Amino acid sequence: MRGFLLMGWAVWILAAAASAGEAASDVWIVSGQSNACGRAPAPGYEEHALVQMSAGNKWVPAKEPLPLGGSVGPWLAAAVETAKASGFGIKITGWASGGQPITIWEESGSGWRALSTAIKTSGKNAGVFLWYQGESDAMKAMKQDEYETRLTDLIRRVRAEAGNPAMQVAIVQISRFGNATATSMEIREAQRQVVLKDPHALLVTAIGRKCDGVHLYKEGYFELGAELSRALLKTRYGKKDTDWPGPVLDAAVLGSDGKTVGVHFAEVRKLSGALAADFGAVDAEGLVKCVKVQAEQTRAVLTLERAVKLPAKAVYGFGQAPEATLVDEAGNRAPAVMLELTSGALPADAPTLCPNGAGAAPGKK
């Protein structure tokens, strides 16, 4: 509740500035690796009078490529759609670099020095931090707990440097990348767990969006930008009727035969387009594929290729390159989730809410 009150306070400040005749605006800090830089070819997203980007010590009209060392990406699309729907000005700053592990953003790293300089120059009192990184760490088999610890610490430092302890954080959950296998699932889950533990964070996934195996295509970037905009419009800019998020796996129960799993999704009234290959499980013996899925309304029944024993986890967004077909009418994608399998009864086949786009921490439903 405290998190939502602080978000409401931020909206009130922006609205008060607008009513006083000022140009109400919000600064977005962007960072990450190559998908944060943007790798799609020009032309870029449309420009808008309310959207600016940093250029040294001044703000100039934003156009792609943004000053992030790349070309066309998701950020201008997100900013323009947010400005058009809210009337607030959006200012984009930050630092990104391709092919970088999260370790360069540690306190003594070159990435942190560059990002910190950008924040000091143009990111003081910023309202939003946008993070899109993790592919390099998946390739190097970083474990979930290490990535989670490092990202949590980075967010703390960004907020402190900007002077905004309640800064809204939007984490982009990584899509497929190179030859990484199960480790991609661990990085995706680490990103989700960071959001679950942070009352001012939200998750928007890149899985299911068109890409070349490393970078999103332009269509995928623009689609991602549109969902980021919807997420921020609803959580930060007071547009509570915005349709976001999409389906999120929030419960999984193992059947008595060990091969049947019942799953429940939040933020959905009727599941459609679910593929067996998008689901699976992980137990002490390794990865377990799903061979059949039967969707209900908000629930589905999975049949696994072999029996599993608890402790085990159910997975949506299984493996390195899931098709990740679950999407709602607004274009909101279901994030990858690794959820502890339980025993007992599955929740009722009825809609539930998920305000952060990531699900619910244990005991917080």
Domain ranges of the chain: 2-235, 248-340
pLDDT in tens, 74-84: 999 999 999 99
| pLDDT at site 10 | 53
| pLDDT at site 1 | 41
Element housing 223 (H / E)? helix 218-235
Asked whether the CA dihedral 344, 348, 349, 353 is positive or negative, the reply is: negative
The highest-level CATH class for domain 248-340 is: mainly beta
pLDDT in tens, 12-37: 445 444 443 455 999 999 999 999 99
pLDDT in tens, 124-180: 999 999 999 999 999 899 999 999 999 999 999 999 999 999 999 999 999 977 665
Task: Determine if the peptide bond prior to 165 is cis (ω within 30°).
Answer: no
State how far the Cα of 77 lies from the Cα of 221, in Å rounded to an integer: 8
Q: Are 206 and 130 in contact (CB under 8 A)?
A: no
Q: 2-235 — its CATH code?
A: 3.40.50.1110
**In this structure, what are the phi and psi dihedrals at residue 304, rounded to the nearest 5 degrees?**
-90, 160
| pLDDT at site 273 | 84
Walk across the sheet containing 279-283 and list its strands: 248-254, 260-266, 299-304, 286-295, 279-283, 313-316, 337-340
Q: What is the DSSP letter of 105?
A: G
pLDDT tens string, the chain, 365 residues long: the values are 434 444 444 554 454 444 434 559 999 999 999 999 999 999 999 999 999 999 988 999 999 999 999 999 999 999 999 999 999 999 999 999 999 999 999 999 999 999 999 999 999 999 999 999 999 999 899 999 999 999 999 999 999 999 999 999 999 999 977 665 668 999 999 999 999 999 999 999 999 999 998 899 999 999 999 999 999 999 999 999 999 999 999 999 999 999 999 999 999 999 988 999 999 999 999 999 999 999 999 999 999 999 999 999 999 999 888 889 999 999 999 999 999 999 999 889 999 999 999 997 654 54
